[in-house]
Every structure is written in structure tokens, then in C-alpha cells.
Amino acid sequence: MLRQRLGIVLATALAPAVWGSTYLVTTEFLPPHRPLLAATLRALPAGLLLIALTRRLPTGSWWWRSLVLGALNIGVFLALLFVAAYRLPGGVAATVGAVQPLVTAGLSAALLGDRLRLRTVLSGIAGVAGVSLLVLRANAQLDMVGVAAALGGALVMATGVVLSKRWASPAPVLATTGWQLAAGGLMLAPVTLLVEGPPPSDLTGTNLLGYAYLSLIGGALTYALWFRGLRALPPTSASFLSLLSPVVATALGWLALGQDLSPFQALGALIVLAALVSAQTQRQRPTAPPPPADKADPARARSVHENA
């Protein structure tokens, strides 16, 4: 049982670890000043590919649930993320976004009945502190619109994580992943055309390779692993794994781009990893799925069946 959980945690952790490579891929492989295009091409082709492979479309309430989850986990989240990235230094955006595990813990307590433990709160605070040591600079400038976008992104993603746990889909994880990626990509596409215009006509082979990596690896593969992990893990535990992204981004900047790595950054990385381990090793009550309508409220269930 413990080995099985460890395997799920490691597989889920691979998703935010790969997402940490987005900065390197964007700066080294993609055309400049096209963040929304990168977000759209990361989501939409991956979603359509998974739908084609699974040959399964949503049914019933999962049409609107897929739209909601696709907006929260993909479309709205990525839009807010890029607003924050444009208006804030990267370290500020990452530090503000690091509050997501704390927001997830609060929403899990409110919506799922999970117990909000002191250890979770302390781990969340340690995670924010570790990320700030890792990426925050003393001369960083604050922009209130950017800060609001970063906080909004953390809230949106945390809500998506909790609702993904609350709404247990009967469909295979690849199918639900495809629905959400396609929904989020379709929301981003018109915004991308309005803000950035059509894709550039002079894309190089390197650019296409970068977009293919973001879509196939950073989109289809990683989101499938992420949503699979959300089915098996408590939402707060999964949310803490997102702190791996700035750690991997910093490590890749040091290894591949020759960026400096100070002792304070190394200390921040160790604090983040300690917060991750603490969040994964504490004992948590599994989240029970909501009861079926006929068991939760027989009168309401009869009314629904009569009106169907």
C-alpha cells in the first residue's frame, strides 16, 4: 500500500517537474512575445489528440463540468498566469503563486470536509518561504494588477484541484484530461487571436519542436499524470507537489543556461522539498465522494426521475 502510494506521488510529481521546464523551452525554442499562443498550443492540440485516441465525449452533466474544470485548470488559470508573468518579475509571481497549497487546504476543508491541520498550514508557510528564497530578488517591483492576477491564478487552480476531487468522473482519466484540455484551449484561442493576432508565418523547425514538446509532453502526458494523481491523492497533498515547478526551473537555469545559484537559493530549495515531504507523509483521511442523489435526498431523487 505504501509502495503504491509512493508510486502515485512520484508519477504525479512528474507533472509539475516537467512544467518547470516551460521557462527554458519558451526562452530557447519559441518565438518571443507569444505567451498566449504557447498556452493555446499547449492545451488545444493535446486535448483534441486525447479525445481522438479515447473516442469518448462527455455525457450528461460532464459537458458543463468539463467546461468549468477546463476553465479553472487550463484556460482561466493560464491567462492569469501570463498576466502575472508580464506584469511581475518571475520571482514575485512564483512566490505569490506558492500560496496555492494553503488555498487548496482551506477549500478542501470548506467543500470536502477535510480537516485543516496545523502541520499542513506550517508546511504551506514553509513552502512559500522556500520559494521566496529560491526565486525572489531584493529589487523586485510590485504591481497590484500583477499581484491580483497571481493570487487569482492560485485561487482558480486550487478550486480546480478541489472540484476535480469532488466531481469523480466515471470516464477514463485520459478522456477527462482531453475534455479539459480541449475546453481550456478553445477558451484561450479567441483571446490569443484578439491579443496577439494569428500565429507568425516564419516559424522555424526549432519553434515547432518547442510547441510539440509543450503540447505532447507538457500538455497531454503531464496533465494525464496530474489528473490521475488528483483521483488517488488528497487534494492538498497533490497541490503541494506544484511547488516543484520553481525548483526545477531554477535547477534548469543553473544547469542549462549557466545562471548563478546562491546559497540562499539552495536553502530555499531544501525548504521547499522539506515542505513537500511533510505534506506527503502526514496521515490524512481519504476524501469520501459525495453520496448519490437517491441516498442523499430520496424525495429530491424521485422528483428528478419523475421530471426526466
Give the count of beta carbons closer than 10 Å to the beta carbon of residue 249. Answer: 21
Binned at pLDDT 50, 70 and 90, residue 139 comes out as low
Summarised one tens digit per residue, pLDDT across range 162-201 is: 999 999 888 999 999 999 999 999 999 999 999 999 999 9
Summarised one tens digit per residue, pLDDT across range 250-267 is: 888 888 878 788 888 899
Binned at pLDDT 50, 70 and 90, residue 304 comes out as very low
How many whole angstroms separate alpha carbon 303 and alpha carbon 296?
A: 13
* Domains of the chain by residue range: 2-307
pLDDT of residue 56: 95
Q: Is the pLDDT of residue 297 over 70?
A: no
Q: Model's pTM, two decimal places?
A: 0.85
Summarised one tens digit per residue, pLDDT across range 16-54 is: 999 888 888 888 899 888 888 999 999 999 999 999 999
Instruction: Tell me the three cell numbers of residue 241.
Output: 507537489
Cα angle 79, 13, 289; round to 5: 80
The average confidence (pLDDT) of the chain is 86
Instruction: Tell me the three cell numbers of residue 236.
Output: 492538498
Tell me what the mean pLDDT of segment 155-160 comes to. Answer: 94
Q: Is the pLDDT of residue 230 over 60?
A: yes
Q: Is the pLDDT of residue 295 over 60?
A: no
pLDDT of residue 222: 96
Q: Is the pLDDT of residue 67 over 70?
A: yes
Summarised one tens digit per residue, pLDDT across range 51-65 is: 999 999 999 999 999
The gap between the terminal CA atoms of the chain, to the nearest Å, is 42
What radius of gyration do the chain's Cα atoms show?
Answer: 20
pLDDT of residue 289: 47
Give the count of beta carbons closer than 10 Å to the beta carbon of residue 93. Answer: 25
Q: What is the 3-state secondary structure (H, E, C) of 61-110?
A: CHHHHHHHHHHHHHHHHHHHHHHHHHHCCHHHHHHHHCCHHHHHHHHHHH
Q: Is the pLDDT of residue 303 over 50?
A: no
